[in-house]
Amino acid sequence: DVQLVESGGGLVNPGGSLRLSCAASGFIFNTYSMNWVRQAPGKGLEWVASINSGSNYIFYADSMKGRFTISRDNAQKLVYLQMNSLRVEDTAVYHCARGWGCSGGSCYLLDWGQGTLVTVSS
């Protein structure tokens, strides 16, 4: 079975940093695009970033550019999201998701992890 397990969330002050991890299993990790999608409390889904299998195509939502960095380790089957200069409005559950059927770097999302909660507050 496919499993995506996120970790690294928690409470952080505005302006602080956090690194999220997503551990993947149950599929051939190095053949899939990986994505981060977030959901603020009581709100809808917002795509954050994506990285293709070879880490040579990386994309970010405009509001995350320059603050967030997505990366992956194919040997360890891990994907990361480094978040810097965090703002109160970044408070959300962050899900990692496996992408497929990609077109120009955009994919549909086959499987999702349960997410990890990031709370930005003083």
Partner 1 sequence: EIVLTQSPGTLSLSPGERATLSCRASQSVNSNHLAWYQQKPGQAPRLLIYGASSRATDIPDRYSGSGSGTDFTLTISRLEPEDFAVYYCQQYGSSPPITFGQGTRLEIK
CB of 50 to partner 1, least distance (A): 6
Separation of alpha carbons 52 and 4, rounded Å? 16
Nearer to partner 1, 77 or 112 (CB): 112
Nearer to partner 1, 51 or 83 (CB): 51
Which positions lie near partner 1, rule CB under 8 A?
35, 44-47, 50, 59-62, 95, 101-115
For residues 69 and 85, is the Cβ–Cβ distance under 8 A? no
Nearer to partner 1, 35 or 81 (CB): 35
How far CA 115 is from CA of 10, 39, 41, 92, in Å, comes to 12, 9, 12, 9
27, two tokens: 């599929």
CB of 43 to partner 1, least distance (A): 9
